[in-house]
């Protein structure tokens, strides 16, 4: 069994596991909802009025006099909205890649497909590659899941590459021609950082 078949089988096993996990979560949620509805029905069946009627104790409800009502002003506390600032990571060499064998080498062979026959391009992090979202980076500098901003567009580090080291980023495209047209660019890269409000 070659490596690509093992990867394909592993991906199929991951998909089956995810489906089973999602099924269990759905069953659990349905159980919680049914329990909540039964609890509401039980409360409605044994309301306070029925309990007092059965014990024949007269129910006396006090009526407030106009002089006993006082109003106190309610103070609203306004939560400060968290502020973010962009922090420059410096200028990076930005290139592009797609799912083809020219860009990905042996990793492009034997990719799984979905029900429609479309390729499923999994990244090194296990996520599906998405144009406009997925980038490859040196994970010792930018770990998987790091969100970066290039030219106002937000990308997520989901992949890595053999030659993607230090201040290099590879942007994922769906087709090879778009990746070629992107070429090599040098851009300033930013991350968002939370700042404390004064």
Residue 60: half-sphere exposure toward Cβ, Cα within 13 Å: 2
Average pLDDT of span 131-139 = 94
Confirm if 84 and 196 have CB atoms less than 8 A apart: no
Tell me: pLDDT of 91 over 50.
yes
The beta-strand segments (E) located in the chain are 83-97, 134-137, 147-150, 153-159, 168-172, 185-195
**Residue 68: per-residue pLDDT:** 53
**Residue 95: per-residue pLDDT:** 95
Q: What is the rounded distance in angstroms from the CA atom of residue 40 to the CA atom of residue 53? A: 21
Mean pLDDT of the chain: 80
Tell me: pLDDT of 53 over 60.
no
**Residue 39: per-residue pLDDT:** 76
Tell me: pLDDT of 52 over 60.
no
Say which residues have a Cβ less than 8 Å from residue 102's Cβ, sequence separation at least 6. 176
Render 38-86 in DSSP notation, one character per residue.
HHHHHHHHT-HHHHHHHHTPPP------TTT----PPPPPPPPPPEEEE
Residue 189's nearest CA partner among 163, 166, 162 is 166
Average pLDDT of span 151-179 = 93
Tell me: pLDDT of 46 over 50.
yes
Q: Any idea which fold 83-195 has?
A: Barwin-like endoglucanases (2.40.40)
Q: What is the rounded distance in angstroms from the CA atom of residue 132 to the CA atom of residue 104? A: 18
For residues 159, 18, 147 and 198, what is the CA-based torsion angle, rounded to 10 degrees?
A: -160
Find tokens 């996990």 and name the residue.
Answer: 21
The predicted model scores a pTM of: 0.56
The full set of domain ranges for the chain reads: 3-55, 83-195
């Amino acid at each position: 069994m070659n490596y690509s078949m093992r990867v394909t089988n592993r991906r199929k096993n991951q998909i089956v596991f995810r489906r089973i996990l999602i099924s269990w979560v759905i069953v659990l949620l349905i159980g919680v909802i049914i329990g909540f509805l039964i609890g509401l029905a039980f409360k409605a069946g044994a309301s306070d009025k029925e309990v007092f009627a059965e014990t024949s104790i007269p129910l006396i409800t006090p009526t407030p006099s106009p002089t006993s009502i006082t109003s106190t002003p309610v103070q609203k506390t306004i939560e400060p909205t968290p502020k973010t600032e962009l922090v420059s990571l410096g200028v990076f060499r930005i290139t592009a890649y797609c799912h083809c064998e020219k860009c990905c080498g042996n990793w492009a062979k034997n990719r799984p497909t979905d029900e429609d026959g479309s390729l499923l391009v999994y990244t090194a992090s296990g996520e599906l590659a998405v144009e406009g979202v997925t980038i490859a980076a040196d994970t010792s500098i930018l770990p998987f899941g790091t969100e970066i901003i290039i030219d106002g567009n937000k990308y997520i580090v989901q992949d890595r590459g053999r030659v993607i080291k230090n201040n290099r980023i590879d942007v994922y495209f769906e087709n090879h021609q778009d990746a070629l047209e992107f070429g090599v660019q040098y851009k300033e890269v930013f991350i968002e950082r939370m700042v404390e409000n004064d």
